[in-house]
Structure 1
Amino acid sequence: MVATFRALASVVMLAGFYVVALIQLVGAVALAFWLSTVLTGLLALKLALPLFGATIGAVAVALWKAIRAKPQPAPGLSVGPDQAPELWRTVHELATVVGTRVPNEIRLVPEVNAAVTEDAKLLGLISGRRILYIGLPLLQAMRVDQIRSILAHELGHYSGRHTRLGAVAYRGRLAMGGTISRIGQYNPVGWVFRGYARLYLLVDNAASRRQELEADRSSVRVAGRAAAASALRELPILDAAWDFYFGRYVHPGWQAGYAPEDLFGGFGELLVARQAELDEMRGAEPEGGGSRWDTHPPIPERIGIIAAAPDVPSAEDGRPARVLLPDIGALGRRLQQLVVDVGERTVLPWPEFTAAMVAAAVQRQADGVFRALGRFTGTPDPGLPAVLELVQDGRLGAFAEQFFPNATRKEAAGKFVEAMESLLQSAAVTSGAARWQHSWSEPARFVGRDGQPMQLTEIAELAVAPQTLPEAVARLTALGIDPAAGKVVQRRADATGARLLAALANIKVDGVDHDLLMLNRGLVLVSNPGKADKGTKRLRELVDSAPIAELASRHQFMPFEEVATATVRKQVPLKAELVLHDGRRVALQEGWSSELLEKHSRDTLLKALKSFDSPD
């Protein structure tokens, strides 16, 4: 019943989209006719032409592309019955129970999710090729009874005929999105289309939520209420663990130019090492809340409905789900080869990867200090010896106060201990006296050649005062750390690890048209951005085209650390002048036709410029 409703709703509302287009076309013709009675023919044509173009041109182009488009299978590793016989046997068994045919393909994917697709024909009347997607992290983390519940849920979508209209829904959303993207922001035709698209999504998503509840019944029928509920409870926990894994262990090293040798194997190791933390998370109730725009009901709601469903006796199977694969480690490495493009990154085993990742992060901190030192002293080759010389001369406070603007010079020198420790750690690694030791259960440890923790905090405290500096140097020497090894590596800041905060289109930089991206580390100035119209769309396409660091390398990047002062002459439209430490001046002028990536972009940029406290 749910599948029939969704099929009818999708087809009717998709057809309605073009009925709306026809009505708007008739309205545009009527408007043009009326305008011709009160205005000259040429002026009436100029006023009505944008409506004709939006209604006919945008819809026709979007519809043509949508008709030709075909949903593409998600990238992953296809495993046949000969490669994963136990997994296929389980799927065959579950398909029989829920009353559907087995999928044509099982594909492992790199995400905490499972899904099904079907390439049905004739608006879903004829069944097509089926693919079952299983996230490898699920097989690494769940129990057998939990994964059986997940698989039964997905197969339940097949038995409920939920996948038959997948291609229609896909093309419908593509046609609507394509139409809206081709209509200007202020064209009234676009307002009607956007309103109808929101209505379509509300109806389609409501049907999708009902389908999920229907598929949950298949899950209970196969695995029982306890396994079905525990599988749902596990999903947000694994999502959090996966995000933590990438944020803490993978992403920083990836940005530094390294890639782990065994990406998925590392996640499995993390799950074992952090079992106590995961168990603590399992003790908390899943968060509720939901939105009418969601495609899935909130997990607490689903668990509540499962608890009220008739139970089916089912033996608990606490074996790890990875037993369904003959060699999950080997399959994970094969999956990594298919879905991960390392580019020119250096591939390293986990111990070396973590050591290189943390060392690179510490070196970036040191480089920031060294570059500031170069600007402060005019030293062409700034390094740790030059910092120690400032300490010896009693000038460390004068240098450090730029990092601690609310502190006195004496206080700034004392606060410099943490930065000094980073400089010493960088010199120790470069000297070969220490390294960063990998751990799945805690942050990487700083250890000496003997593998024992090396503490440099006390030495850093000694190194920031002239009277204790000789003792600090002596201790460094005893540890085999050469201060001369502390050198600047990156002489100019880049956007590695930077985040996008705001973006503005149609900004004049020194009188030349640019688009501007504001990062937390500086400004990306994109010259020759194109026509002034559709600036917001252009910005979205730009930020979606490549990682932020890569965009900064392609275009002109102005690090904030190179800005000495900024003077805001006018707030709307924005007019400001930046003075760089090398004496260059950069004028920013926003035009009345400028567009924002999001409504707070100008305010965010203004706040950043005002932080430089330039006198007017």
Structure 2
Amino acid sequence: MLRAAASVVMLLGFYVVALLQLLAVLALVAWISVEWSATIGIKLGLPLLFAVGATAVGLWRAIRTRPEPMHGLIVAPHDAPELWGLVQALATEVGTRTPDEIRLVPEVNAAVSEDARLLGLIGGRRRLYLGMPLLQALSVDQLRSVVAHELGHYSGRHTRLGAVAYRGRLAIGHTIGRIGAWNPVGWVFRGYARLYLLVDNAASRRQELDADRASVRVAGPDVATSALRELPVIDAAWDFYFGAYVSWGWEAGFAPDDIFGGFGALVAARHEELAKMRGEEPEEHRSRWDTHPSNTERIAAMRAAPQVPHPVDGRPAGALLPSIAVAGVALQQAVVEVGSRQVLPWPQFTAAVATARLQRNADRIFRSLGRLTGVPDPGLGTLFDLVAAGRLGELAEEFHPDVTREEAAVRFAAMMDMLFVLAAVRSGAAYWRHSWSAPVTLTDADGAEVDFEEMAKLAVSPDTVEQARARLAGAGVRVEAAAIVERAATATGAGVVGALANFKIDGVHSDVILLDRGFVFVPGPKSTDNGKDRLKALISSGPAEELAKRYHFLPYEEVATATITKRSPVRAELRLHGGAVIALEGRWTGEELGKSQDALLAVLDRIVQRSTD
């Protein structure tokens, strides 16, 4: 209740500040009108009055807005009687009412909410959210601790005024967002907003420690601390899982048929790595702006609690569901929108992703090969002909600009190896082996690992390239199986590395989005106002590949040379392989996100180095 009362008082104070500023602005306008002129008073006062009026808009929006329930899979009592039985028993132990609803959510998190009314005086529908990864990685004992902590928020009546705190933050956020950075009224509001967050976050930290006491009381200090220490381990495993197994395939147009089941399999297969992570003390950098105390502080408080005997249940938490595998698939159907992606079982998904990644890298080489040779559909056979003619160095220097042509040709063996793998997979002479405990490996039909490194070394020399061709044929690898697919570079899977507003591209006012694969040129206004806001809106409007499709995308690989004539503001010329020239001209009044100008100069310097070495 303390947080709620503080939230209400601080929120009311926000509008008292607004009222006082309104009176001050009116007095200022009246004084200027009398001492100088009504026109000057109105011109000076209108922006200030607008800023004060923004508080009313913020309040109105906050009153009308309610937090939406987290998207997930509702689990009814008849769907998981043991889980519901555990939650009901814990609610009794903690001294609170049982939640009305349990939802499984696709997050490494557990939470509670309550649809309270009349500023929390009247309770409402209660929801308990349980992250599927927690059910897959915690024990029943540890889950009891986590759930008891969340139910402790109910018994402490923390959720009653959660909506008040939410609306307070929302009202202040709306108000600050509508006031310009240089409006004096905004300075006062921003200072008060910082004070509000300091008070609210301090109350939130106290609530977490209070809920921890419920967790310790139910599960005991040892289990409570082990559960708390396990959460960052699960979170790291979840991030690794998506980065190493899911994300690239998702960007390439594929989706696994069992996302959550895959995570469960990874946790089981990598238990030794996870055990090692548990033994490492994570570095924590907490401040007064955080909503949660540090784990160090929480664990110290838990260990100071008295030791009370508790029943031990070391079963996997997933045992509380009739079938965690079925629940995982149902959750995926409820919360994951695969769109037009091809859904595949894990072994096929992994193989498709590995092949797609190989093809994308091969296409990058083949496009350069096509520009050099003039062949419209280049492939591995075209590359062999280039090697036989003694011209591999001409191609290789584009990828190794820091060495001579001869050395670049030798280093190209690594890329040749990759092309051989692609040809072998496309020929059906090699296969991808999926693993939850190690990277994907390449094998033959009998399961033995395949290695083309020695053949690749033979293939980069005119004297031995035919030996490599013959050995590939003997292994059942068709040279023609490795050929170009993506004839034009795209931004599929690209990321944003910078954004600059108010440039001129060939004399046209434009904004520039820097991707890790190329430039995106977006037509912009002549005015230099609101450049950062425009850039933020652009970047948040969709994935980088959609921006590239919507506007002019220039892949870095299509730029043959660059000439930098001025570094601040940037002025440069880009000469494309086809002979066209694009002029880039920055302006002193231009804006950027972060250090995007440094990122742009780094890109240009790399192109200059590539073209001059």
Report the TM-score, using the length of structure 2 for normalisation. 0.96
Residue number in structure 2 paired with 1:374: 370
Residue 592 of structure 1 deviates from its aligned partner by 4.3
> 2: CA distance between counterparts of 1:519 and 1:559?
9
Q: 2:423 aligns with which of 411, 414, 427?
A: 427
Residue 175 of structure 1 deviates from its aligned partner by 1.4
Q: 2:444 aligns with which of 443, 448, 465?
A: 448
Q: Please, which moves more after superposition, 577-586 or 133-142?
A: 577-586
Q: Tell me if the contact between 2:4 and 2:162 (Cα under 8 Å) persists in the aligned partners.
A: no
> 2: CA distance between counterparts of 1:376 and 1:38?
77
Q: Please, which moves more after superposition, 352-361 or 309-318?
A: 309-318
Q: Are 1:230 and 2:226 matched, yes or no?
A: yes
> 2: CA distance between counterparts of 1:428 and 1:190?
64
Q: Tell me if the contact between 1:286 and 1:299 (Cα under 8 Å) persists in the aligned partners.
A: no
> 1: CA distance between counterparts of 2:526 and 2:424?
49
Q: Tell me if the contact between 2:7 and 2:165 (Cα under 8 Å) persists in the aligned partners.
A: yes
Q: SS at the partner of 1:567? A: strand
Are residues 553 and 405 of structure 1, via their aligned partners in 2, closer, same or farther at CA, if it must alter by over 3 Å? same
Residue 392 of structure 1 deviates from its aligned partner by 0.6
Q: Which amino acid aligns with 2:291?
A: T
Residue number in structure 2 paired with 1:6: 3
Q: Are 1:607 and 2:602 matched, yes or no?
A: yes
Q: Are 1:486 and 2:495 matched, yes or no?
A: no
Residue 38 of structure 1 deviates from its aligned partner by 5.9
Are residues 610 and 195 of structure 1, via their aligned partners in 2, closer, same or farther at CA, if it must alter by over 3 Å? farther
Residue number in structure 2 paired with 1:109: 105
Q: Please, which moves more after superposition, 23-32 or 364-373?
A: 23-32
Q: Please, which moves more after superposition, 339-348 or 553-562?
A: 553-562
Residue 469 of structure 1 deviates from its aligned partner by 0.9
Per-residue CA deviations over 1:340-378 (Å, capped at 9, x if unaligned) read 100100000000000001111111111111111122223
Residue number in structure 1 paired with 2:65: 69
Are residues 249 and 168 of structure 1, via their aligned partners in 2, closer, same or farther at CA, if it must alter by over 3 Å? same
Residue number in structure 2 paired with 1:52: 49
Q: SS at the partner of 1:436? A: strand
Residue number in structure 2 paired with 1:569: 565
**Over 6 Å off, 4+ runs:** none
Q: SS at the partner of 2:319? A: helix
> 2: CA distance between counterparts of 1:517 and 1:155?
46
Per-residue CA deviations over 1:11-50 (Å, capped at 9, x if unaligned) read 1111122222223323333333344456554344333322
Q: For residues 373-522 of structure 1, what are the structure 2 equivalents within 5 Å?
A: 373-522=369-518
Q: Which amino acid aligns with 2:67?
A: P
Q: Which amino acid aligns with 1:293?
A: W
Residue number in structure 1 paired with 2:114: 118
Residue number in structure 1 paired with 2:163: 167
Per-residue CA deviations over 1:110-144 (Å, capped at 9, x if unaligned) read 01110000111111111111100000110111111
Q: Tell me if the contact between 1:181 and 1:537 (Cα under 8 Å) persists in the aligned partners.
A: no
Q: SS at the partner of 1:52? A: helix
Q: 1:321 aligns with which of 317, 322, 326?
A: 317
Residue 181 of structure 1 deviates from its aligned partner by 1.7
Q: 2:23 aligns with which of 23, 26, 36?
A: 26
Are residues 351 and 169 of structure 1, via their aligned partners in 2, closer, same or farther at CA, if it must alter by over 3 Å? same
> 2: CA distance between counterparts of 1:42 and 1:541?
36
Residue number in structure 2 paired with 1:537: 533
Residue number in structure 1 paired with 2:236: 240
> 2: CA distance between counterparts of 1:593 and 1:103?
56
Residue number in structure 2 paired with 1:80: 76
Q: Tell me if the contact between 1:516 and 1:523 (Cα under 8 Å) persists in the aligned partners.
A: yes
> 2: CA distance between counterparts of 1:381 and 1:605?
32
Q: SS at the partner of 1:296? A: coil
> 2: CA distance between counterparts of 1:81 and 1:50?
57
Q: 1:257 aligns with which of 230, 253, 259?
A: 253
Residue number in structure 1 paired with 2:579: 583
Unpaired stretches in structure 2, ≥5 consecutive residues: none
May I ask how many residue pairs the two structures share in their alignment? 611
Are residues 184 and 581 of structure 1, via their aligned partners in 2, closer, same or farther at CA, if it must alter by over 3 Å? farther
Q: Please, which moves more after superposition, 568-577 or 195-204?
A: 568-577
Q: Please, which moves more after superposition, 88-97 or 419-428?
A: 419-428
Residue 465 of structure 1 deviates from its aligned partner by 0.9
Q: Tell me if the contact between 2:502 and 2:524 (Cα under 8 Å) persists in the aligned partners.
A: no
> 2: CA distance between counterparts of 1:337 and 1:530?
47
Identity of aligned residues (%): 60
Report the TM-score, using the length of structure 1 for normalisation. 0.95
Q: SS at the partner of 2:582? A: strand
Q: Are 1:356 and 2:352 matched, yes or no?
A: yes
Q: Tell me if the contact between 2:33 and 2:41 (Cα under 8 Å) persists in the aligned partners.
A: yes
Root mean square deviation of aligned Cα:
1.9
> 2: CA distance between counterparts of 1:431 and 1:527?
46
Unpaired stretches in structure 1, ≥5 consecutive residues: none
> 1: CA distance between counterparts of 2:552 and 2:36?
49
> 1: CA distance between counterparts of 2:423 and 2:259?
30
Q: Tell me if the contact between 2:434 and 2:441 (Cα under 8 Å) persists in the aligned partners.
A: yes
Residue number in structure 1 paired with 2:542: 546
Are residues 416 and 566 of structure 1, via their aligned partners in 2, closer, same or farther at CA, if it must alter by over 3 Å? same
Q: Which amino acid aligns with 2:52?
A: T
Q: Which amino acid aligns with 1:549?
A: E
Are residues 376 and 38 of structure 1, via their aligned partners in 2, closer, same or farther at CA, if it must alter by over 3 Å? farther
> 2: CA distance between counterparts of 1:118 and 1:16?
26
